Amino acid sequence: MELRHLSGFVAVAEELHFGRAAERLHMAQSPLSQQIRLLERDLGVTLFDRTTRSVRLTSAGQALLEPARHLLAEAAVIRRTVRAAGAGEVGRVSVGFAGASSYAALPVLARAVTSELPGIELVLEGQTYSGEALGRITDGTLDLGFVALPARRGIHTRAVRVEHLFLALPDTHPLVERERVELAELAQERFVTFPAARGSAVRDAVVQACHEAGFAPRITQEAPDSYSLLALVGAGVGVALVVESARDIRLEHVQFRPLAGQVSPLRIALAWRAGNDSAALRSVLRVAERVLPTPAGHPS
């Protein structure tokens, strides 16, 4: 049984009340008439009673009509699904993220993908720090990740944010009276940071910046995420260097101050494995390029 024959049958059945079906079926050599006869031969039943004046469905035709409609509708869904998959509009894309930079960018991307590509499921994997994300992208267990540049070989990237480091202080700290703080003034402070073992790019940037200022930071406690880190700052456990986006996290007893002097910013990028031929990933990247454009003057 061919779908085009079923389609012809449904078309004729639905035209009966318009009076056009009799003329179309009585044209014995018409493609539609031939489709109906082939379908009747295939099923071994008569689907229409034909007279010189009228055409009507037989009981077999009436029994076939509703299942035929359902089958054609399901076939249409299958066609749309297959075409969407071929165009990269169906599938799953896993996204690793951690830290305030991705907290700011990820909702923008996720909302756009949900709206424009409803057939794609974003699998969001939190607390996936830059180093860990790069490792998982390389071994194929993660499709896409927010990472700090530069990245390793075999990874494609596109910069999406530029983050400057800010100082987070307890609101009782004497330095809150200053508009800007020299990094060297923090040499005797206790620091709270992100975990060393998870490949946090922010932690690496903090250590590097302190070394350039002439001291090694005295790290007394680690925190798994930006909210927890700032809560420790507010509790007076220590100070922290955080990315600018962290200022959007509002906690009582925490103040932010810019750093004086030259401190290298972090370039945050979307990263994916070279050779990942996922059509769904390509579609997500097209959306990301529009809603998370590369900052001016900072090519990936």
Percentage helix, strand, coil for the chain under 3-state DSSP, each rounded to 5:
45, 20, 30
Q: Which of 24-38, 45-59, 224-238 has the lowest mean pLDDT?
A: 24-38
Residue 155, phi then psi, degrees to nearest 5: -120, 130
Query: What confidence category does residue 51 fall into, taking pLDDT thresholds of 50, 70 and 90?
Result: confident
What one-letter code names the amino acid at 31?
A: P
Identify the CA nearest to 242 among candidates 253, 231, 229, 228.
229
| pLDDT per residue as tens digits for the range 10-19 | 777 776 655 5
pLDDT at 3: 72
The bridge status of strand 91-96 relative to strand 144-148 is parallel
Residue 16, phi then psi, degrees to nearest 5: -55, -40
Query: What confidence category does residue 7 fall into, taking pLDDT thresholds of 50, 70 and 90?
Result: confident
Question: Which phi-psi region, left, alpha or beta, contains residue 209 (left: φ > 0; alpha: ψ -120 to 50)?
Answer: alpha
Q: How far apart are CA 220 and CA 81, in angstroms?
A: 54
Cis bond before residue 174 (omega within 30° of 0): no
| pLDDT per residue as tens digits for the range 71-95 | 877 776 666 666 655 555 688 999 9
| pLDDT per residue as tens digits for the range 208-267 | 999 999 999 999 999 999 999 999 999 999 999 999 999 999 899 999 999 998 899 999
With residue 144 as reference, give the H or E element that holds it. strand 144-148
Query: Average pLDDT, stretch 133-150?
Result: 95
pLDDT at 257: 97
